[in-house]
């Protein structure tokens, strides 16, 4: 059984805004509207999940408490999960996406194998269960990488993640155990080359990541909490994201370092960072070029309303029919 997990927030909810404002003073980037504005395309996430991954066992929809008016909450495949349903009360209220993600293993009824989506990640062509898990292992692309810092990047979080990984895994030891996975052709020759070039470095400097849906074992989250509970607890006690935090990629990096994965091509998906030119993202949707895409909103997104309409029109072309997760569906 494979579950999907997706968090969502209605940034226009007045009650949510009021509670957030009580805690928001002094926080900069996390207080940006870009992190919460709604592209009005969530229904296409559900349509894509139903059409392209009909095998999914359960969809766990994480929410502060609000749900879209069109969502059929009676759908047997849907589990509405409020923050209060699974996040320990000492971490609430939270407006820190890391807290929401780090506690996913506590979701009631969550399967051992699950795929985590951000609400800007979509399925745009058919996928099989084996694309996410095979022989009980998560599918992932392996490549050593270097953590880089830049303005408005996740560099701080990734570096914190790698500190934990390097505390528990010796690079040379893991390479000897899992060299077949590290240098498997499915990773892509560029990634294999990147790994080769970074082999002389003693530590794990980082791992490749494509900002796409992540495949996790619930037991991985439980293991990291058992081994590094104090560090995760520190992050979860931050009401908003802070540079001292770790994020959910610590679980991905933990699985990669521990050899707990099976290689798969990185070309199955692509992340589009929305700036001025939205044409590549629109064309990728219309041509269904990838199995999954990410439409990453940025501070550089211009003419937001117009771009939102272009994205909606593209999704409507490939997913015009309502899913059974929408009220009034004919299914």
Burial code (b: 16+ CB inside 10 Å, e: under 16) for 215-241 equals bbbbebbebbbeebeebbeebbebbbb
Number of domain units in the chain = 1
- Angstrom distance (rounded) from CA 41 to CA 46: 10
15: left (phi over 0), alpha (psi -120 to 50) or beta: alpha
Section 35-62 average pLDDT = 92
**Position 330 confidence tier, pLDDT thresholds 50, 70, 90:** low
Most confident range, picked from 8-22, 79-93, 195-209: 79-93
E-strand ranges in the chain read 2-8, 58-63, 78-82, 113-116, 121-123, 133-134, 137-140, 214-217, 262-263, 269-273, 292-296
Say whether the peptide bond before residue 22 is cis (omega within 30 degrees of 0): no
**pTM of the predicted model over 0.85:** yes
What is the overall mean pLDDT for the chain? 92
pLDDT recorded at residue 35: 56
HSE value, Cβ hemisphere, 13 Å, CA-based, for 173: 6
Residue 152 has pLDDT above 90, yes or no: no
Classify residue 164: in a domain, yes or no: yes
Classify residue 149: in a domain, yes or no: yes
Section 309-319 average pLDDT = 96
pLDDT recorded at residue 155: 75
Q: In percent, how much of the chain has pLDDT > 90?
A: 78
Section 111-127 average pLDDT = 97
Which of 54-63, 118-127, 267-276 shows the lowest per-residue confidence on average (mean pLDDT)? 267-276
Classify residue 95: in a domain, yes or no: yes
8 Å CB contact between 253 and 207: yes
DSSP string, 54-74: TT--EEEEEESS---TTB-TT
pLDDT recorded at residue 70: 96
pLDDT recorded at residue 26: 62
Exposed, middle or buried: residue 246 (CB in 10 Å: 0-12, 13-18, 19+)? buried
Classify residue 290: in a domain, yes or no: yes
Neighbours of 262 (CB within 10 A): 19
**Position 150 confidence tier, pLDDT thresholds 50, 70, 90:** low
Classify residue 217: in a domain, yes or no: yes
Classify residue 324: in a domain, yes or no: no
Domain span at 45:
2-318
Residue 331 has pLDDT above 90, yes or no: no
**Position 36 confidence tier, pLDDT thresholds 50, 70, 90:** low
pLDDT recorded at residue 30: 53
Classify residue 329: in a domain, yes or no: no
In this structure, what CATH number is given to the domain that contains residue 56? 3.90.550
Section 78-101 average pLDDT = 97
Classify residue 330: in a domain, yes or no: no
């Amino acid at each position: 059984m494979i579950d999907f997990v997706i968090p969502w927030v209605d940034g226009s909810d007045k009650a949510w805004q009021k509670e957030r404002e009580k805690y928001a003073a002094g926080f900069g980037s996390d207080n940006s509207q870009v992190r919460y504005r709604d592209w009005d395309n969530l229904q296409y996430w559900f349509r894509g999940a139903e059409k392209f991954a009909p095998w999914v066992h359960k969809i766990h929809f994480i929410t502060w408490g609000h749900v879209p008016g069109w969502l059929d909450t009676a759908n047997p495949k849907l589990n509405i999960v409020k923050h209060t349903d699974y996040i320990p009360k000492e971490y609430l209220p939270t407006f820190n996406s890391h807290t929401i993600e780090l506690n996913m293993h506590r979701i009631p009824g969550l399967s051992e194998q699950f795929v985590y989506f951000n609400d800007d990640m979509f399925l745009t062509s058919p996928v099989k269960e084996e694309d996410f898990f095979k022989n009980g292992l998560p599918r992932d692309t392996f490549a050593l990488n270097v953590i880089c810092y830049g303005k408005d990047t996740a560099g701080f979080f990734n570096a914190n993640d790698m500190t934990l990984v390097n505390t528990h895994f010796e690079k040379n030891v893991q390479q000897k155990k899992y060299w077949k996975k590290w240098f498997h052709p499915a990773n892509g020759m560029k990634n294999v080359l990147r790994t080769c070039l970074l082999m002389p470095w003693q530590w794990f400097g980082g791992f490749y990541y494509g900002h796409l849906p992540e495949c996790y074992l619930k037991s991985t989250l439980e293991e990291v909490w058992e081994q590094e509970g104090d560090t995760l607890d520190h992050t979860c006690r931050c009401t908003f994201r802070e540079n001292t935090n770790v994020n959910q990629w610590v679980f991905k990096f933990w699985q990669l370092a521990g050899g707990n994965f099976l290689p798969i091509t990185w070309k199955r998906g692509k992340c589009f960072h929305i700036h001025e030119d939205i044409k590549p993202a629109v064309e990728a949707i219309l041509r269904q070029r990838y199995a999954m895409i990410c439409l990453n909103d940025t501070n550089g997104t211009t003419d937001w309303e117009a771009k939102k309409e272009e994205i909606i029109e593209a999704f409507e072309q490939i997913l015009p029919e309502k899913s059974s997760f929408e009220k009034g569906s004919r299914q």
